[in-house]
Amino acid sequence: MPVVIDSAEKHGFLRCMEKTQQNNKLPLAGLRVLDLATFVAGPFSAAILAEFGAEVIKIEQPGGGDPLRKFGTPSPNGDGYTWLSEQRNKRSVTLDLRKPVGADIFKRLVKSADVCCENFRPGTLEKWGLGPDVLKAVNPRLVLLRISGYGQTGPYKDRPGFARIAHAFGGLTYLTGEPGGPPLTPGSTSLADYISGLYGALGIMLSLRAREETGQGQEIDVALYESIFRVLDEMAPLYAANGFVRPRLGLGTANVCPHGHFECGDGEWVAIACTSDKMWVRMAEVLDRPELGPDERYKTAAKRVANRDDVDGLVSAFTLSMPRDKVMAACVTGDVPAAPVYSIADIFKDPQYKARQTLVTVDDETAGEITVPNVLPRLSETPGRINHLGPALGDGIQAIYGDELGFTDEELAELKRDGVI
């Protein structure tokens, strides 16, 4: 289904689409992916591959399918908006892997697959007789992505885990909140899912590259908490070196200042980030206090951090003296890194988002026009694309089970009666 272009100003995206249409062979064309995973992390890995040409077969439980279908706000077709956005470009089949017949059908699919994504608790595939050793015997070239809360090994591997749990266990939640206050939700409760999905997609591409040399697939083990822990900058080496435990800093940031969120005179907020001494000099000019740039109290990052309250007070006095648009204009003119703290409503109106087509509207057959985030990353010669949004439950059964695997209509009806599909 085509992306709806609502303005002739969107030349870049139109050129991108034209180039894609001229070169239909996307980077991952010919790659077949079996997506057994549920909710966000594993399916996000598969969706990234699907955006760049991989054929992704979403394998769901008969009856209700992936629980993500009904998670969050329902769209006009009954499936949730998260489902429609994050399961883009996939086909759906239903299959109960717990039944021997279902497991046998899955093995037939594995024979022609390049990648399989799963995020069950460790040992689940093995319990169903579909562990890595079995799948490798069926197809030695298969790359198996396994995402779980705590990974496939260790004393906690059998515990259930979701993104919020990973944020807590991975160290991020501890940092979020006001000094002396309770730990707060670090923005999105799905951050660990999306970061793990990115690591999963990266692991798949690395494994496929290795397969070119070895001819063999391999397992990829991604733990949700490790994806969070990996992005916590200097915290691990610093603690190992001197035992320092970073506290909650509220609106501020460790090691640099001013570097936080500041309220404006109209009640809106801006983010300002002076990460170097040169940027502080620019900030002093914006404050109309150029003498503060070389001031001995503030001239280095360490001194500004030591006088954080004073520095933040100077910036706050400035931002509170005028509305946000004027604060932003002053910062942009002064080349100080700053951005408005946006709501989703602000995002939909911003010209930068429009110019880069960060949001696109897809005309879905059953849900109507749905606006979703566009494909990332942006490739100049073989850009990805959104062909359609999350599929209807079982929309690929006839093509995959009937046309490809050769099941007759009568056999498919029997499999459905038996709860296999």
CA distance 223 to 6: 41
CA distance 192 to 196: 6
Please give the biggest Cα pair distance in the chain.
85
CA distance 370 to 361: 5
Q: How many C-beta atoms surround the C-beta of residue 100 within 10 A?
A: 12
Q: At what angle do helices 41-51 and 191-214 cross, to 10 degrees?
A: 60
Are the beta carbons of 41 and 145 closer than 8 angstroms? no
Catalytic residue positions, numbered = 193
Q: Can you say how many angstroms the Cα of residue 229 is from the centroid of all Cα atoms in its chain?
A: 16
CA distance 199 to 226: 10
For 293, the token pair is 């740039």
CA distance 287 to 5: 42
